Chain A
Amino acid sequence: DSGVTQTPKHLITATGQRVTLRCSPRSGDLSVYWYQQSLDQGLQFLIQYYNGEERAKGNILERFSAQQFPDLHSELNLSSLELGDSALYFCASSVDSRDTGYGYTFGSGTRLTVV
């Protein structure tokens, strides 16, 4: 157990629907990162939050949004889902993005299948 908790582990939904993925960072970590990994693709950075504030944005679609709550858990909302959104969505956390010596700790991911 890495200490980063992601729910649900699996999600199957239809095109056009909306889903919410949840992440609880490791205790003491203030930064949360969301990544998308499609089949046989690399990790694509979506967005980063630090202590409730958005800090960096990657290639996140307008149909996707995220937030980090006061208790530091984060949610990634995916709407108007398309078949191409099927992927593994990982959440990772770190103490502070400026202190990278220990790397990120990843959750086990949410496998989203859009049918």
Chain B
Amino acid sequence: GQNIDQPTEMTATEGAIVQINCTYQTSGFNGLFWYQQHAGEAPTFLSYNVLDGLEEKGRFSSFLSRSKGYSYLLLKELQMKDSASYLCAGISGGYQKVTFGTGTKLQVIP
């Protein structure tokens, strides 16, 4: 599996932009997910990156650099409802095993 590393907590202001970083082992790497999880709820799929570059989906964008073992999730025009944990998950191996990081708890403040 992957060793996924991401910051434990972040705080950002409503209306601002925040970048959540994630690093992973490149060995056997096949792709990367970002999920959003509100406390006590199921994770919901945000993005999937397999090639280098930026994938944009509305206010959320995700970037991948395969050679550097690095990804980030960019959230623009932050809203209070964006307060949640953001999980980075690496995909590896023939059966595409998914390993989740411990998540970054984002608090959006007024």
> Are A42 and B42 in touch, CB under 8 angstroms?
no
B101 touches A104 (CB 8 A): no
A43 touches B40 (CB 8 A): no
Is A100 in contact with B96, judged by CB distance below 8 angstroms? yes
B44–A106 contact, CB under 8 A? Answer: yes
| Residues from 1 to 49 in A contacting B, C-beta threshold 8 Å | 2, 33, 35, 41-45, 48
Q: Are A42 and B97 in contact (CB under 8 A)?
A: no
A42 touches B45 (CB 8 A): no
Contact among B30, B35, B42, B96 for A2, CB-based, below 8 A: B42
B40 touches A88 (CB 8 A): yes
* Pair A45/B98 contact, Cβ less than 8 Å: yes
B102 at the interface (CB under 8 A from A): yes
Interface hits, B49-88 → A, CB 8 Å: 50, 87
A45 in contact with B97 (CB, 8 Å) = yes
| Bound CA–CA A17/B84 (angstroms) | 34
With beta carbons under 8 angstroms apart, the residue of A44, A45, A98 that contacts B96 is A98
How far does the alpha carbon of A19 sit from the alpha carbon of B53 in the complex, in Å?
45
B102 CB contacts on chain A under 8 angstroms: 41-42
**A51 in the interface, Cβ–Cβ < 8 Å?**
no
Q: How distant is the Cα of A41 from the Cα of B101 in the complex, in angstroms? A: 9
Q: Pick the contact of B42 from A41, A100, A101, A108 — CB < 8 Å?
A: A108
Which of chain B's residues has its CB closest to A41's CB? B102
Interface residues of A (CB under 8 A from B): 2, 33, 35, 41-45, 48, 55-56, 58, 88, 90, 97-98, 100-109, 111
Using A48-B97, A55-B95 as known contacts, list a sample of 16 further A-B pairs with CB atoms less than 8 Å apart, ordered by residue number in A: A42-B103, A43-B43, A43-B87, A45-B98, A58-B1, A88-B40, A98-B95, A100-B30, A100-B48, A100-B98, A101-B48, A102-B45, A102-B48, A103-B35, A103-B48, A104-B33
16 pairs, CB–CB < 8 Å, chain A vs chain B:
A42-B100, A45-B98, A45-B100, A48-B97, A55-B95, A56-B97, A90-B42, A97-B97, A98-B96, A100-B30, A100-B33, A100-B96, A101-B48, A103-B35, A106-B43, A108-B42
7 interchain residue pairs of minimum CB distance = A42-B102, A103-B45, A106-B42, A43-B100, A97-B96, A100-B96, A108-B42
